[in-house]
Amino acid sequence: MKTTNESVNPAKKYPVPPFPKQQQETPGTENQLEPKADHGEESYKGSGKLTGKKAVITGGDSGIGKAIAIAFAREGADVLISYLSSEEDNDAKKTAAFVEKAGGKAVLVRGDIREESHCQHIIDTAVAEFGQVDILINNAAFQMGRDTLQEIPAEEWRRTFDTNITAMFYLCKAAEPHMKPGSSIINTASVNSYSPSPVLLHYAATKGAIQNFTANLAQMLLMQGKGIRVNAVAPGPIWTPLIPSTMPEPENFGKDTPMGRPGQPVEVAPAYVFLASEEASYIAGATIPVAGGRITI
């Protein structure tokens, strides 16, 4: 990948499918991903957009969350990285190392955000370590591809909703009392909010709910005079460990986009930086699509 200011055909900027055949157990890890994902480790350059800010990122160990953590740190923020399980410890520590190398403070919190008490613990830890919460990134998600309605177990349906939307409610509720005017909540929606995939019924349903939750909460907090902006980012197919651990035929993932390839996490992170920054001070209740040309209207 080129890192200069030279213009590059976006369809050819990153690896194009087919990729090597691969499958992982959920939740998936970075070291088994082939080709490796780009989180901006070498390419993302900060410019002080988030200097002094304190951020909480769920699902910050890998994928989009990792790219956000790296970008935020290079923009001057301290970062709490929330992640699920011990299988992700190594990925989380590597992400924390990038944050610290950029000069930021990194705090790791492991646990299941489906539990309201754990969501409260995440926010309490951020307040104890940072003194405040300026940015909340609700990014963690669960999905599983299923071809038919009958194949979806009830437990899996509940897990998807509890992880993707109910936890978002818990975290926003816990964080709001600690967020001063000018703070920002950014939720990860999806291109599935607009064009749901037939094999992602439960996941797509939660992403539609996130879209509505974002728009509604944005109005609520502003009309109450809180001065907290709420927005969302809607990624298209992005190459992360979630894909080979939950999707059939990951070797062809993203091939059906107009760009003919999946996006890389580093291509999504700048949207979160923008929405969290003062440059987006008049943007609330909005969703920025990062979808490789997929239509989101």
| Digit-coded pLDDT (tens) for 123-172 | 999 999 999 999 999 999 999 999 999 999 999 999 999 999 999 999 99
Q: 288 and 234 in contact (C-beta within 8 Å)?
A: yes
Q: Which is nearest to 186 in space by CA: 236, 134, 142?
A: 134
What does the mean pLDDT of the chain come to? 95
Q: What is the mean pLDDT of residues 224-231?
A: 98
Question: What is d(CA 199, CA 146) in angstroms, rounded to the nearest whole number?
Answer: 5
Cis bond upstream, residue 27 (ω within 30): yes
Q: Are strands 184-188 and 54-58 parallel, antiparallel or unpaired?
A: unpaired
- Domain residue ranges in the chain: 45-290
User: If you classify domain 45-290 with CATH, what class do you get?
Assistant: alpha beta
- pLDDT greater at residue 25 or residue 225: 225
State which amino acid sits at residue 250. P
pTM of the model: 0.95
The yes-or-no verdict on residue 62 having pLDDT over 50 is: yes
Selecting among 14, 170, 194, 203, the annotated active-site residue is 203
The model's confidence at residue 2, banded by pLDDT at 50, 70 and 90, is: very low
- Residue 60 DSSP class: T
Q: Which is nearest to 137 in space by CA: 55, 192, 195, 77?
A: 55
The yes-or-no verdict on residue 87 having pLDDT over 50 is: yes
203 is catalytic: yes
Q: Dihedral sign for Cα 30, 12, 73, 278, please.
A: negative
Question: What is d(CA 192, CA 214) in angstroms, rounded to the nearest whole number?
Answer: 15
